[in-house]
Amino acid sequence: MLSIAITGANGQLGQSLRAIAPLFPNLDLKFFNRSELDVTNRKSIQEAFGSKHFDYLINCAAYTNVVGAESNSEAANLLNGLAAGYLAEAAQKNKTHLVQISTDYVFDGTKLEPYVPTDLTNPLSVYGQSKLLGEQLVAQNCDHYSVIRTSWVYSEFGSNFYTKIKTRADEGQILWITDEYIGCPTYAPKLAQHILSGITKGDLPQGVSHFAGKEVMTWFGLARKLLPEADIRVAPKEKQPLSVNRPKYSALAG
């Protein structure tokens, strides 16, 4: 039976992995929340991996506030970048395969056709830069790794696009949603299924790969798909999200 450590257990991907765990009875999953394993602390990591060997480590811990990262670059770089390097060091030492989750925001959105893993990166935001740093540190410090870039992740778990707009819709609010960005929305449980299925079958891509939803759409289109009965309107400029440099087009292809 393969043993798997999962960090960031309380995030939406961590919760999604927990939700589908019963579908994989041959995997021994150990979930770590922040109080059990602080991935920004080398000592905490050493203690977690010094007493038990894990075949795989899935790092779901992340700083995901794209707007907040602009004014908290140190925190974003620590959690998304340096912490990934710490985990890679531990994985290398303990012969563990590291699965690192990354993002479409490592691209600048100027390609205008789906990005493939070999395309050049050029993040526009602090968030994207911090995630790219994580990719680089994983590759530098670990021989056996899978960096999975995904995009626009949503689910019923935690705080994300879907849960936020559903709360507002349930309160009877008009939903003003931007249509200026194009990407591939990804349902978190499907990403979780991709990871655990790949581990079980032994065919999880090594190196850098992409996994995202198949449909290319705007945030406005996603809102209409998720909440077809809600009052959803295209946001004018004054109702657009706080200004952050985001890729205008960030659809991902394998």
Catalytic residue list: 127
The dihedral through the CA atoms of 243, 246, 251, 254 has a sign that is: negative
- Amino acid (one-letter) located at 104: D
SS3 of 43, please? helix
DSSP 122-176: ---SHHHHHHHHHHHHHHHH-SSEEEEEE-SEE-SSSSSHHHHHHHHHHTT--EE
Q: How many residues does the chain have?
A: 254
Provide the 8-state DSSP code for 237.
G
Phi, psi of 209 (to 5 degrees): -140, 170
Helix segments in 1-41, DSSP class H: 12-20
**Cβ-contact 250, 103 below 8 angstroms:** no
**Are the C-beta atoms of 13 and 153 separated by less than 8 Å?**
yes
Closest CA to 144 of 96, 192, 90, 196: 96
Q: What are 16's two structure tokens?
A: 């999604």
Quick check: 181 and 223 in contact, CB under 8 A? no
